[in-house]
Chain A
Amino acid sequence: MAVTLTNPVGGSAGAVADARPVLLQATGVCKAFDLPDGNGAFTVLQDIHLAIREGEIVALLGKSGSGKSTLLRILAGLIPPSSGLVVSCGKPVLGPNPDVAMVFQSFALLPWLTVQENVELGLKARGVPREERRQRALQAIDRVGLDGFESAYPKELSGGMKQRVGLARAFVMQPPLLFMDEPFSGLDVLTAENLRSEVADLWAAGNFPARSVLLVTHNIDDAVLLADHVIILGANPGHVRGEVHIDLPRPRERTMPGYEQIKDAIYLAMTNPEADVQQLIAGIDRRAETRFAPLPHARVGGVSGLLELVDERGGAQDIAELAGELNLDTDDLLQFLDAARLLGFAEIQSGAVTLTPVGRAFVEADILESKELFRRQALERVPLLRFIVNTLKSSKRGAMDAEFFLDVLDEHFPADEARRQLETAVEWGRYAELFEYDADKSRLRLPDESLAGAPA
C-alpha cells in the first residue's frame, strides 16, 4: 500500500516522524454525494491519502466547504467513503470507529443530561461499571476545569464551558485518537484563545488523554499553535495540497521566532488556490528573527553615492564628519548607512563606517556587475524582497497585486509604515531587476526571463 505524502519541510523532522507507528491511515479516499433527485453525484473528496502517527497533532486546514468535516467523518467511520480505505489501529474502518472520540463545533451535548451524565455517556455504552464510571467522569470534569459543575445542565453553561464538557466527554474515553471538528469556532475570540491554550498546555504536559489528535479547522492560528503537521486541503473537490511540518517548540506563542513566517506562508497558500504549497513552505526562513525587519528608507542611488564617497576617502570614514561634509540630516544619513549595512556593503564600528569587500566590489564594478551584486546581496539578506520574489514565483502568472503585499505588511507595521516599506522594497527590487512594477495596475511581476530562474 503506497501512501505518498508530500515531503514535510525539514528533512530531519520528517525522518523522526516516520519512525513512529501509524495510528490511522487513509488511502485513496474519495467521497461523492448523490445529487438530490437527479442522476449523478457531486464529488466532495478526491483521492485523499494521509496518515496520523502516534504522538502527534495533525491539523486539517482548509476553507469552509473544502470537505474537512466530511473527511473527518469518514475517518471517524460515521459515513462510508465512496472508495478508498481507512485503517485505524490496524483494523479497517467499516462503521463508527471505536478508536476515536470526537469533539464537535456545536458541542453536541444532550441537553437533558447533566454534565456528569453527558461525560459518562460513552463509558456507559462501553459497559464500565457505575462506580468506576463516576470516578473517571469526575476526574475528566476536574481536568477540564469544570469541578463543581457535575450536576449542572448544559443550558446553564456558557459556550466555553459547554465545549469543556465536550472535551471531558472525549477525554474520559482515553481514546487512541481524539478528533476535533472546529472545536473553537463556535466560541467568542477570547474564550477560544483560552481553551486552545489549555488544550495546548495539556498536550505539552505529556499526559494527554489521547495518543494522537486530528484537528479540523479553518483558522490558521489554531493549526500553527497546536499542530505538528498541517495538512492543507484544497477545494472543489477536496484534495491534499501539501503538508507543513511545524517544529516550533511547545508551549507555543505567537511572538516566537518563525511563528509569523509559518503563518504567512500558510496564509499565502490558502489565499492562492493555485500556488504550489511546497514552494511557499520552502520560502520560510528559519534563521531570521522576524522576516520583515524594517527596511531603512533609503533609495539605492543615495546608498551607492554614500559608498562611493567612503571609497574615495580610503574605505573608512568617521560618521559625524561625513554628515557635516554631505550637509545631510543625521537621520537621513543613518538610513543610508543602515541600508548599506543591511545589504552587507558596509560595517559600522565605534562611530566609523568601513566598506566590506563586497561593498568595495559594488562601488568599483560597472553598472551591470553592480546590479548583479546588489541582486545577490538583496536576495540573501533582505527577507521582504525574497518573500516578494518567492510569492511571485509561486503565483499563477508570476504577478501579484501590490495590495496583497501591503496586506501582509499591514500585519507587521502600522499602515503608513507598511506603505513606505513596500515603496522601498519596490524601489530596490526594480533596481536589482528582481521584479517589475506596473504603476497603472499597481501590480508586481517577475521580469520575463527570470520566470524560469532558480529560486533564491
Chain B
Amino acid sequence: MALRTFPTREALKRLPFGLADVAILLGVIALIYLVAAVGAGALVAFEPPEQLPTISLDPANLPYYLARSTLRMFVAMGFSLAFTFVVGYAAASNRYAEQIIIPTLDVLQSVPVLGFLSVTITGFIALFRGSLLGLEAASVFAIFTSQVWNMTFSFYHSLRNVPGDMQEAAAVYRLSRWARFTQVQAPAGVIGLVWNMVMSFGGGWFFVAASEAISVLNQEYTLPGIGAYVTQAIAQEDMRALLLAMAAMAALVVVIDQVLWRPLIAWADRFKIEQNEATQAPRSWMLELLRRSRVLQAVREALAEAGEKLSARSRRARLARRQTWPRRSLLSVRRVDALFNIVLLLIVLAISGLAIWFIHTEVGFEEMLEVVLLGAATFVRVAIIVVVSTLIWTPLGVVIGMNPRVARIAQPITQFLVSFPANFLFPFITIGLIHFGVSLDIGGILLMALGAQWYILFNVIAGAQSIPNDLREMAANMRVSGWERWRSLIWPAVFPAWVTGAITASGGAWNASIVAEIVSWGNTTLTATGLGAYIAEATGAGDWPRIVLGVGMMCVYVVGLNRLLWRRLYALAETRYRL
C-alpha cells in the first residue's frame, strides 16, 4: 500500500487558491478601500473664496496627497481610453468622421493644454457649483487633454493598418463587427496603445502638478494633491518638504511602472504582428503573478462564457440578414464629398472671422504684433532645446541603443526621466538662477529642456536598438566605419525615431513654456520674455481677450511648425528611411 504524504498534483489543482491568489485578493481589497477613501475627498464642499481646501506640509499627509493625484491620473486615463476606443474606431471606420476627426485631433494635439486651464476651470466650477468636484474635474480634464491625442492617433493608425489578409480572413470566416473589433482590430492596436499610454501617463504627471495649484481670474485655486503640496512648499521656501515630495514622486513612478506598465507591456508582447520570434520578450514579475492566479483564470473563464451567450443572440440575426453590395454611385459620392467640404470650409472661415473680429475689438492689432514677437522668443527657446538635445542625446542614445547591455540598464532610467514631472525640479533651478542672478530669458531654456530633452534620448535609443543586425554586420563586413558609418547606416536608421522624439520634445517644450517662463521661490518671481509668460500672466489676471490671443497664437506657432517642418520630416522618415 502506497502512503501518500503530500497532496497529488490533482489535489493541488483542485485547491481553489494559490499564494498568488491571496496576494492579488489582498491587493484588490486594499485598492478598493484606497480608491473609496481617497475619492471621498473629492466630494467635499467648495465655496470659493470662503471655503477652500488647505494644504499642510506635514510629511504624514504626503501619501494622501500622492493618492489623490494618482487617482486623478487614473480617472483621466480611463476617460482617455474610452475616448480613444470610440473616436479612434469612428475615425478608422467612417470616411466622413475621419475627415473631421483627424485634422481636429491634429490641432488639439498641438494646443497648449495649460493655456486652456483657465477656461476649463471656470467652466467646471460653474458646472459643479458648491462642490470640489468642479476643480477635480478641471484637473482631470487637463490631464485628459494632455494624454489622449497621441493614444487616439496611435489606435486609429493601428486600425487603419491592420494587415489586409487578416481583414479578409475575418470577412471570409464571417466574424461579426464586434468579433472583428475584439479579435482582429483592437489586438492589432494594443502594442501601440500601451506604449502611448505609458508615455501619456508619464507626461500626465506634469499636468497634475501644474493643474492642482493655479491662479485663475485673480483667484488662487488649490486642489489637495502632490502638485499643490509642491507649490505650497515653494511658497513657504520649505526645502525639506520639497525634497520629500520629490522622493515620494520618484518612488510612485517606479511603483506604478512595476505593478502596471511593465506587466502591461509584457502582456502586450503577444499582440506583435511581426511573425518572427522577438529578440527578447519583455518580462514582468507582476504578470507572472497574475498568470499564476487561479481566481483570475476562473473570472476569465466566466467572462468568456458570458460573452459566448451574449454573442449567440446577436449572431442569429446577423447571419440571417440578407447581403447586398453597398450601392455605389460615383456622382452622389462626389456630391456628398463636395457638400461636406463646403460645410467644413464655412465652419473654419466662421471661426477665423470671429477670432479676427475679437482681436480687433478687444486688444487691437499692435498688441497682436507684439504677441507674434513674444511667440518668436519662445520659438527660439524651443528651437535651441531641440537642437542642443539632439546634438547631445543622439550620439549618446545611439551608443546606448547599439550596446544591448548598456541599453538594458539605460532604457528604464530614461523611461523614468520621461515620466518624472519636470516641474518638480523647477524650484531647484529657480534657486540657482536667483542665486547667480541669471535672467530667466536664458534660464527658461534650461527649465523647458528639463522635461523635453528625454523624449529625444528615449526615442533614439529605441531607434538604435531596432537597427537590424544584418545591416550592422554588413557595415562591419564592408569596413564602413567612422563618419561614413554614421552617415550611411546609423543616421538613416534612427532618423524616424528621432523625428518622433523631436516632435514630442518640441510640443512638450511649448507646453512647458507656460509654467517655465514665470517661476517663483517664496516671494521672488522671475519672468522671461515670451509667449508662455504672456499666457500665464493673462490667465492669472483673468484677462479673457489676452488669454484667447495668447493661446491662439501658440496654436498658430505649433500647428504652423507641424505643417511646415515636422510633417515633412515625418513624410521623409516614412518614405525614405523606413526600415
Interface residues of A (CB under 8 A from B): 73, 76-78, 80, 94-98, 100-102, 104-113, 121-122, 124-127, 130, 153-156, 162, 169, 173
Contacts and interface: CB of A to CB of B under 8 A. Distances in A.
B270 A112 contact: yes
B331 interface: no
Interface stretch (B36-44, B319-327, B516-524): B319-327
B486 to A, nearest CB: 33
A94 B166 contact: no
B315 interface: yes
Contact of B187 (A109, A110, A169): A110
Contact of A101 (B173, B175, B308, B316): B173
Contact of B168 (A104, A130, A154): A104
Interface stretch (B102-110, B271-279, B347-355, B441-449): B271-279
A95 B324 CA distance: 6
Interface string B443-459: 00000000000000000
5 contacts: A76-B172, A95-B325, A106-B165, A108-B168, A127-B311
Contact of A125 (B173, B271, B278): B173
Interface stretch (B117-125, B176-184, B400-408): B176-184
B277 A155 contact: yes
9 cross-chain pairs, A with B, having the tightest CB-CB distances, nearest first? A95-B323, A122-B173, A108-B165, A108-B169, A80-B325, A94-B323, A102-B172, A96-B171, A127-B315
A111 B325 contact: no
A153 B169 contact: no
A153 B270 CA distance: 9
A96 B165 contact: no
B273 A111 contact: yes
B168 A110 contact: no
Nearest to B168: A78
Nearest to A175: B172
Contacts of B273: 111
Contacts of A125: 173-176, 179, 315
A94 B325 contact: yes
Given A102-B168, A122-B174, A112 B308 contact: no
Nearest to B318: A125
B323 A73 contact: no
A125 B311 CA distance: 9
Nearest to B271: A112
Contacts of B183: 110, 113, 121
B172 A111 contact: no
Contacts of A78: 168, 171-172
A100 B173 CA distance: 8
A130 to B, nearest CB: 6
Contacts of A111: 270-273, 275
Interface string B301-334: 0000000100110011001001111000000000
Contacts of A153: 270
Nearest to B270: A112
Contacts, number: 89
Contact of A102 (B169, B312, B323): B169
Most chain A CB atoms below 10 A, which of B179, B190, B316, B325: B325
Contacts of B174: 96, 98, 122, 125-126
Interface residues of B, number: 35
A114 to B, nearest CB: 10
Nearest to A166: B169
B375 to A, nearest CB: 36
A155 B272 contact: yes
A100 to B, nearest CB: 6
A60 B308 CA distance: 39
Nearest to B268: A112
B420 to A, nearest CB: 32
B308 A130 contact: yes
Contact of A155 (B165, B187, B276, B322): B276
A110 B173 contact: no
A127 B309 CA distance: 10
A76 B173 CA distance: 11
A76 B165 CA distance: 13
B272 A127 contact: no
Interface in B166-214: 166, 168-169, 171-176, 179, 183-184, 187, 190
A124 B278 CA distance: 29
Nearest to A93: B323
Contacts of A95: 323-325
Contact of B316 (A105, A113, A127, A173): A127
A121 B173 contact: yes
Given A102-B172, A111-B270, 10 more contacts: A98-B174, A102-B168, A104-B168, A106-B163, A106-B165, A110-B169, A110-B187, A122-B174, A125-B173, A127-B319
B275 A155 contact: yes
B275 A154 contact: yes
Contacts of A96: 171-172, 174, 323
A173 B173 contact: yes
A42 B449 CA distance: 53
Interface in B252-301: 270-278
A77 to B, nearest CB: 8
Contact of B179 (A73, A77, A124): A124
Nearest to A114: B270
A209 B172 CA distance: 17
A100 B165 contact: no
B100 to A, nearest CB: 21
A98 to B, nearest CB: 7
A387 B176 CA distance: 55
A251 B270 CA distance: 41
A289 B417 CA distance: 78
A156 B277 CA distance: 7
